[in-house]
Structure 1
Amino acid sequence: MTFGMSFPTKFVSNMKRAGADAESNSTYIIPMNQTIIMTEIMTHGPVVATYKIYEDFSYYKGGIYVHTAGEEKGAHAVRVIGWGEEKSIPYWLVANSWNTDWGEKGYFRILRGRNHCDIENQMIAGMVKV
């Protein structure tokens, strides 16, 4: 499996913090709090997240991903579309872009509430004027 490369990037936007007066067609950073993140997904739909990719992620086939081995290989952006628990283990449900033959038909679950692989570090949402 090939992973994307990381490049230094300067991000310029009308980014705001969640809870601020959101303008139409604006994006905002969601605080690193699973309750706030879940409320955002439930209220406005999927959010965008970046997370660190490690070697063992390339072998993911299903279940709740928990990094156990291998060095960091880069970062990846995904859509967090929901959450759940399996055997009392909380997880985020995530849509990946690596095709439907990867993971759980193109999706994966990752440990929730512990900022695992930095996935909760900077989730971003948006409001679009329609």
Structure 2
Amino acid sequence: MAQHTAGQMLGGHAVKMIGWGTENGTPYWICANSWNSDWGENGFFRIIRGLNECGIESGVVAGEPKL
């Protein structure tokens, strides 16, 4: 499970938040990366939920199509 450990933000990267869960009492987001299935957990990763790790919760952008 990803957790920020040190350093300043150096840019950004878009990922898709596709779900959530809890493991051993720790809540997390399930995210899809765009790099490919060789990266992380078959192209996905989990990051701690509720602590805004790496700005994941404050930097959410979403869209809704106009139909």
TM-score, normalising length from structure 1? 0.47
Runs of 4+ with >6 A deviation: none
Structure 2: runs of 5 or more not aligned: none
Amino acid at match of 2:61: I
Aligned length: 67
Asked if 1:96 corresponds to 2:33, the answer is yes
The aligned runs of 1:1-130 (5 Å cut-off) are: 64-69=1-6, 72-130=9-67
Name the Cα RMSD after superposition: 1.6
- Going by fraction, where is strand more abundant, 1 or 2? 1
Structure 1: runs of 5 or more not aligned: 1-63
| % same residue | 57
Higher alpha-carbon Rg: 1
Q: Distance in 2 between matches of 1:106 and 1:73?
A: 22
* Cα gap change, 1:105 to 1:128, in 2 (>3 Å): same
SS of the residue 1:125 aligns to: coil
